[in-house]
Amino acid sequence: MRCPEVRDLLHAFLDGELEVDKNVAMLKHLELCPPCRERSGCEQELREVVVRACCEPVAPERARALLAAACRPGPDALGGDAPAAAAPRVPSRRWRRWSAAAAVVALIGGAGAWALRAPCPGSDCSTRSLLAWARAQAQLEPPLPLEDLYERLGERFDAPAPAGLTLLGGNTLTIDGQRAPLLRYRCDCDGKVVVVARVPGVHVHGRDVRRLADGRSYVVVEHEGAKLVGWQGGDGGLWCVIGCEALPRERLYVLASAMRG
Amino acid sequence: MVWEHVGEDVVTSSRGEPSGDAVGDGSSGGRGSRGGRGGQPSAAGSQAEFEELVLPHLDLLQGFALRLTRNRADADDLLQDALYRAYRGLGGFERGTNFKAWMFRIITNAFISRRRSDARAPRLVDLDAVDPGAEPAPDQAEALREELVDATTDWRRVYAEHVDDDVKQALDELPLEFRLPLLLSGLGGLRYQEIADVLRIPIGTVMSRLFRARQRLRRALRDYALARGIAVGRVEEA
């Protein structure tokens, strides 16, 4: 693929509208062509600027009032006393807790990049999850063979096995009393190691959610050289690919897409 | 035998027996909000599910409503109306598909029907009738100059220096026929075809409006940066 064609297809690429083969050709070209990569980066940045500017935080009290009104039986839910207007705006204890969670996240993801919500009211597991997660990232033990990992977890599971990656084994991560797998893969092409983690019970919500080339949404976090591309799994948890070494961001996107299947 | 509840995955025992049915209700410390799922759809259950689906997207839904209506009171009404419709239409949401895109479609439909039913409001835009080709073609020399300025702009600097209010203002100044596809794509994550379907316009029109919306937006951001005295590249005078 040559530069003029890349320019023509760039918007469709960034909007996730390209066929798989064209997508791959685009990724290859962008990896090798700095001017096109710069152009693509700028276009992507404009998209992110819009999402960030349009994210209008709803205070938990108001969220509760909105949802309660929406779910209220009877046709009068839209009446003049719509809680949208009357919702109290006093910060609640829960709001402070979420703020604390957001502060922890800011530590990892850069200021204001994320906000996380506990999946269940009254739980602050997101904070603890992230602390545990950050600790685990910093202190990875050598990987256990998969059979040992299964034994430690007390369960077997299907580890993602995308092409081009070799599973080295994994460790466990204890979050809210649950053990979760933290798998390590080596890229066949250059021997670099990536970690794939599942953080159960964490609902991701935030400003740094990006739609990548495969058309699906991911959370992207970069902080002090560490990069993470995560997505909400069907099991209500967060799955993520963490680059332990200096992997280019685009590589992580491709890996996350492959892991997701 | 050790059982451990890990999300809603089918967990297998160490002997490898599939046991998906056994795990669902036996989880220790189960999550309250999931209580109504899977069984008969009691009102409380579907409400909990609805909340779980909506909460992660509520900030963006509110942002979308605000940028559509451009004022807080109308945005509040629109969001409330859309949530009300969504809860009652939850049966029509196909589980496992993109809930955010589904909500964006509902808000869009609510917004369009409000505009059409409000006889007092002038119809600023008829979404079916607007033909982007009808816009007067810019003077060719002016277009060339614009392209030259684009090419010599340091866009990274523009985006680095922007403030959120610039972006909101630039969006609000876009005509609705450009703003709506841009928001549906950028915030809602709708595919081109989905945007075409909800706005009832051809897919080619969606693509050209998206392109032009982004072009206008980035030029507006550059102008705001210039107005604040920020140098964003070599602007060559014609």
Please judge whether A201 and B7 are an interchain contact, meaning their C-beta atoms are less than 8 angstroms apart. yes
Condensed to tens digits (0 to 9), the pLDDT of residues B192-210 reads 999 999 999 999 999 999 9
Which pLDDT score is estimated for A131? 42
A94-260 classified as CATH 3.40.1000: yes
Average pLDDT estimate for B114-129: 51
Please judge whether A155 and B11 are an interchain contact, meaning their C-beta atoms are less than 8 angstroms apart. yes
d(CA A72, CA B87): 10
177-196 in A: which are within 8 Å (CB) of B? 177-180
Q: With beta carbons under 8 A apart, name residues in chain A contacting B83.
A: 66-67, 69-70
Please judge whether A54 and B51 are an interchain contact, meaning their C-beta atoms are less than 8 angstroms apart. no
Which pLDDT score is estimated for A168? 86
Interface test with B, best of A46, A48, A203 (most B CBs within 10 A): A46
- pLDDT classification of B116: cutoffs 50, 70, 90: confident
B234 versus B219: the higher-pLDDT residue is B219
Q: With beta carbons under 8 A apart, name residues in chain A contacting B191.
A: 15-17, 215
Q: Per-domain residue ranges for chain A?
A: 3-52, 94-260
Q: With beta carbons under 8 A apart, name residues in chain B contacting A15.
A: 185, 191-192, 210
A260 versus A90: the higher-pLDDT residue is A260
Q: With beta carbons under 8 A apart, name residues in chain B contacting A53.
A: 164-168, 171
Which pLDDT score is estimated for B97? 81
d(CA A184, CA A203): 23
B43-117 classified as CATH 3.40.50.1820: no
Q: Give the count of beta carbons closer than 10 Å to the beta carbon of residue A118.
A: 20
Q: Per-domain residue ranges for chain B?
A: 43-117, 132-227
Average pLDDT estimate for A201-220: 67
Please judge whether B6 and A217 are an interchain contact, meaning their C-beta atoms are less than 8 angstroms apart. no
Arithmetic mean of pLDDT over chain B: 72
Instruction: Quote the minimal CA–CA distance from B30 to chain A in Å.
Output: 10
Residue of chain A nearest B67, judged by CA positions = A54
The minimal CB distance from B80 to the residues A49, A66, A232 is found for A66
d(CA B220, CA A221): 28
d(CA B217, CA B150): 12
Residue of chain B nearest A211, judged by CA positions = B189
Residue with tokens 């982007």: B132
Instruction: Name the burial class of residue A54, with classes exposed (0-12), middle (13-18) and buried (19+) by CB atoms within 10 angstroms of its CB.
Output: buried
Arithmetic mean of pLDDT over chain A: 68
Is the interface score ipTM higher than 0.85? no
Instruction: Name the burial class of residue B195, with classes exposed (0-12), middle (13-18) and buried (19+) by CB atoms within 10 angstroms of its CB.
Output: buried
Q: With beta carbons under 8 A apart, name residues in chain A contacting B13.
A: 155
B132-227 classified as CATH 1.10.10.10: yes
- pLDDT classification of A169: cutoffs 50, 70, 90: confident
- pLDDT classification of A236: cutoffs 50, 70, 90: low
- pLDDT classification of B37: cutoffs 50, 70, 90: very low
Residue with tokens 């963006």: B60
Q: Give the count of beta carbons closer than 10 Å to the beta carbon of residue B4.
A: 15
Which pLDDT score is estimated for A227? 65
Instruction: Quote the minimal CA–CA distance from B49 to chain A in Å.
Output: 11
Average pLDDT estimate for B44-54: 80
Average pLDDT estimate for B179-188: 94
In three-state form (DSSP H/G/I as H, E/B as E, the rest C), the secondary structure along chain B is CCCCCCCCCCCECCCCCECHHHHHHHCCCCCHHHCCCCCCCCHHHHHHHHHHHHHHHHHHHHHHHHHHHCCHHHHHHHHHHHHHHHHHCHHHCCCCCCHHHHHHHHHHHHHHHHHHHCCCCCCCCCCCCCCHHHCCCCCHHHHHHHHHHHHCECHHHHHHHCCHHHHHHHHHHCCHHHHHHHHHHHCCCCCHHHHHHHHCCCHHHHHHHHHHHHHHHHHHHHHHHHHCCCCCECCCCC
Please judge whether B64 and A217 are an interchain contact, meaning their C-beta atoms are less than 8 angstroms apart. no
Instruction: Name the burial class of residue B147, with classes exposed (0-12), middle (13-18) and buried (19+) by CB atoms within 10 angstroms of its CB.
Output: exposed
Lowest-pLDDT choice from A168-182, B1-15, B21-35, B144-158: B1-15
For chain B, say whether A67 makes contact (Cβ under 8 Å).
yes
Please judge whether A120 and B32 are an interchain contact, meaning their C-beta atoms are less than 8 angstroms apart. yes
Quote the percentage of chain B above a pLDDT of 90: 31
The minimal CB distance from A69 to the residues B14, B80, B86 is found for B80
Please judge whether B168 and A53 are an interchain contact, meaning their C-beta atoms are less than 8 angstroms apart. yes
Residue of chain B nearest A119, judged by CA positions = B52
Beta strand residue intervals within A79-202, DSSP E = 115-117, 165-175, 178-187, 193-199
Q: With beta carbons under 8 A apart, name residues in chain B contacting A45.
A: 155-156, 159
